[in-house]
Amino acid sequence: MKSAKYIFVTGGVTSSLGKGIISASLAKLLQGRGFSVTIQKLDPYINVDPGTLNPYEHGECYVTEDGAETDLDLGHYERFSNTPTSQANNVTTGRIYQYVIDLERKGEFLGTTVQVIPHITDEIKRRISLLGQTGKYDFVITEIGGTVGDIESFPFIEAIRQMRWEMGQSCAVIHLTLVPYLAAAGELKTKPTQHSVKTMLEQGVQPDIIVCRTEHHLNENIRTKIAQFCNVEPMCVIESIDAESIYDVPLLMLEEKLDIEVLKKTNTPIPDTIDISRWENFLFRLKNPKRTVTVGLVGKYVELKDAYKSINESFIHGGVANDCKVIVKHIHSETITDATVEEILSDVDGVLVAPGFGARGIEGKIIAIKYARENKVPFLGICLGMQCAVIEFGRNVLDYKDANSTEMDPTTEYPVIDIMTEQKSIENKGGTMRLGSYPCRLETTSKVFELYGEENISERHRHRFEFNNSYRDAYNNHGMKTIGIYPEDDLVEIIELQNHPWFVGVQFHPEYKSTVACPHPLFVGFIEAILANKPVS
Ligand code: GLN
């Protein structure tokens, strides 16, 4: 049984400074020194989870093995640390209140007045401690979403204040701020950082370490100034300079000794060595690609790169495994028509059709798939992307006029994609899809089997609709093979087209499982197929 130490990561000045990447980088360094680490995100909003949030609001919804719909930062945690997360790793204000109110309704508070302090803060503390109490981790890193000073983050900061008071040197607080550069003055400015730390102090929390996001290097003067005004030691002022890639950040933090300062602050003996050679090797290959390919990512949220975060990162991993730089061309499916498709896809070497919900943009996706199928362009369809490939094949090869998914057209004559039986009676939207990890058995004659190298795989899901088994024989007889099946309910999980260089559709989301240490076989195989299909220039 390990007794865990707790690291809190808060943010100040603005949002989007990269607390998730700093937390994940710290985890990577601590792992490199032999510690076991998990990372948790506490989100101050009232939604019970981000599953019901529009990607325009909150980017991608990331799904864990146990089927939790979580914040996209959990994707970074897994990609960096190569350790699965779970529902316990993402808690929102909504979930905390829901739990406390349920207890109140059951009479568990025995007539006392239920209040933010202590009831909500106690529940926050319990959720933080749960991961530590598993006995699996040396460190639990807890990232607090939002920015200090926000009304909704008060109870979280108060919970941290109490935990520090109760646990002393078993806790450390890292505060991430922005040190802006004023071009007119030619200077970096520390005042926003000072104010942000003051806000923390008003709430009773003195940060131990200040990580300063900056566009320019911090000189000694600036470091000393921040140290003096914010009551931290000069070596605890850590520079986080803008980097070419998020994958540079662990090494930048190593240079700045973030891990060493955390170990010192938590009174942890510092191991002499650190092993992050695999990470360094990945970074070297990332920066020295031998070839370049362009993939068209056809989706409906293209103006928003966070909406397809895990897919973009999986392309980086799959590219590096092939020593190949992958340029992802984001294509708005609503711009694709029979008239425009050729021009839009003329410069891409492969096509990925993205997951999604609802009818908007679906016809463009189907046209893009037809183009990839007929022109033998390597294709990967994920979830809705796989469903669209089935619809396209139905309409254009099997001659099923206006074939569709009942999600888009409930009265279609050819419902080749239909709602899953167990979904029919569900009315609540949150957390009710087929979510998380399910097994799948592969046909051993398939290309996909060769990539995985095993017959029984397990992948993560997030859907309500499925391939309609009444059409299975027709598809198989005409060359769209159903080569991956969820054995318990006989659901189609994977389709593969014959007589095509590489055309694969998956009902699950491979992008959630791709990490730096273990790039996903489907992304590795997709890039490999694109390279094989593309003449060397
Ligand atoms: N809307 C489809 C379904 O619910 C696909 C979901 C997805 O792409 N994640 O089945």
User: Does residue 463's CB lie within 6 angstroms of at least one atom of ligand 1?
Assistant: yes
Non-local (6+) Cβ contacts of 432 within 8 A are: 423, 426
**What is the pLDDT, as a whole number, of residue 304?**
76
**Selected residue with higher pLDDT from 537 and 381:** 381
Question: Which structure tokens are listed for 473?
Answer: 């024989």
- 536 confidence band (pLDDT: 50, 70, 90): confident
Residues counted in the chain: 537
Cα 384 to ligand 1 centre (Å):
5
Q: What distance in Å separates the CA atoms of residue 307 and residue 415, rounded to the nearest whole number?
A: 28
User: Does residue 434's CB lie within 6 angstroms of at least one atom of ligand 1?
Assistant: no
**What is the pLDDT, as a whole number, of residue 57?**
80
Cα 534 to ligand 1 centre (Å):
31
Query: Which of 111-125, 222-236, 411-425, 434-448 bottoms out in mean pLDDT, i.e. has the lowest?
Result: 411-425
Q: For ligand 1, atom 5, which residue shows the shortest CA distance?
A: 384
387, 420 contact by CB (below 8 A)? no
Cα 385 to ligand 1 centre (Å):
9
Task: Share the mean pLDDT of the chain.
Answer: 95
Query: Which of 193-207, 217-231, 333-347, 523-537 bottoms out in mean pLDDT, i.e. has the lowest?
Result: 523-537
Condensed to tens digits (0 to 9), the pLDDT of residues 463-497 reads 999 999 999 999 999 999 999 999 999 999 999 99
Phi-psi region of 348 (alpha: psi -120 to 50; beta: other; left: phi over 0): beta
User: Does residue 388's CB lie within 6 angstroms of at least one atom of ligand 1?
Assistant: no
Residue from 352, 426, 465, 509 whose mutation best tests the ligand 1 pocket (most atoms within 8 A of CB): 465
105, 63 contact by CB (below 8 A)? no
Cα 396 to ligand 1 centre (Å):
22
- 429 confidence band (pLDDT: 50, 70, 90): confident
User: Which atom of ligand 1 sits closest to the CA of residue 383?
Assistant: 8
Residue 40's SS3 state is strand
Query: How far, in whole angstroms, is CA 246 from its chain's centroid?
Result: 13
- 52 confidence band (pLDDT: 50, 70, 90): confident
Rounded mean pLDDT of 151-172? 95
The yes-or-no answer on residue 509 being catalytic is: yes
User: Does residue 361's CB lie within 6 angstroms of at least one atom of ligand 1?
Assistant: no
Q: Which of 171, 230, 383, 440 is catalytic?
A: 383
For residue 426, pLDDT over 90 is answered with: no
Q: For ligand 1, atom 8, which residue shows the shortest CA distance?
A: 355
- 431 confidence band (pLDDT: 50, 70, 90): confident
For residue 305, pLDDT over 80 is answered with: no
Residue whose token pair is 């080569």: 483
Q: Which of 69, 493, 511, 528 is catalytic?
A: 511
- 441 confidence band (pLDDT: 50, 70, 90): very high
For residue 534, pLDDT over 80 is answered with: yes
Rounded mean pLDDT of 22-36? 98
For residue 54, pLDDT over 90 is answered with: no
Rounded mean pLDDT of 104-110? 95
Q: Which of 317, 463, 509, 520 is catalytic?
A: 509
235, 261 contact by CB (below 8 A)? yes
